Amino acid sequence: MRLPSLLKEVWKNLFEKPATVKYPHEKLGVPESYRGKHLLARSRCTGCGLCGEVCPASAITMEQLGNGIFPVIDLSKCIFCYQCGDACPRGAIIRGREVELASWSKEDLILK
């Protein structure tokens, strides 16, 4: 009987480093291009509301904060497509790389 061709690779696996990492203790990180939690540059924002208009998930509302109207992003609704960043004429919504967004309460997921 011929040996299955995968046997060599199976044997090799016994001596190799595991393909997985122990996640919370060891992290792989994300590439530069990753679409994570947004960074809002309020100094650039004019409060035009275009980001809220285009949002496919209706996750962005415009609210009175301090002395102006600014976008408020509900991350529990956000689908991280960054159409808001594309639509912003002033580049006030900047792509962030934070991915660990789990939270105990929904209030923590509201990004102001």
Partner 1 sequence: MPSVDINIGPVHPALHEPEKFVFKVDGEVVVDVEPRLGYVHRGIEKAAGEKTFTQAVYLVERVCGICNVAHTLASVQAIERAFEVDVPARAKYLRTIIHELNRLHSHLLLLGVACELMGFDTLFMMLWRDREVVMDLMELATGNRVMSAYNVIGGVRRNISDHEVSTIRKALTSLSEGVKRYRKAFAEDPTIRARCVNVGRLSPFKGISLGAVGPTARGSGINVDVRVKEPYAAFDEIQCTPITYNEGDSWARFMVRIDELHESIRIIDEALNKMPRGPIRVPVAEVAPQTAESFSIVEAPRGELLHHIYVKKGEDRPLRYRIRTPTYANMPALCEMLKGGYIADIPVTLVSIDPCFSCTDRLTLIDIRSHKRKVVRLKSSI
By CB under 8 A, tell whether 35 contacts partner 1. yes
According to the binding rule CB under 8 A, does residue 79 interact with partner 1? yes
* Separation CA 2–CA 9 (nearest Å): 16
- Give counts: helices (H), strands (E), the chain: 3, 5
Q: Which is nearer to partner 1, 37 or 95 (CB)?
A: 95
Candidate residues 21, 27, 34, 94; the one interacting with partner 1 per rule CB under 8 A? 34
Is residue 76 near partner 1 by the rule CB under 8 A?
Answer: no
Instruction: Tell how strand 110-111 and strand 68-74 pair up.
Output: antiparallel
94 binds partner 1 (CB under 8 A): no
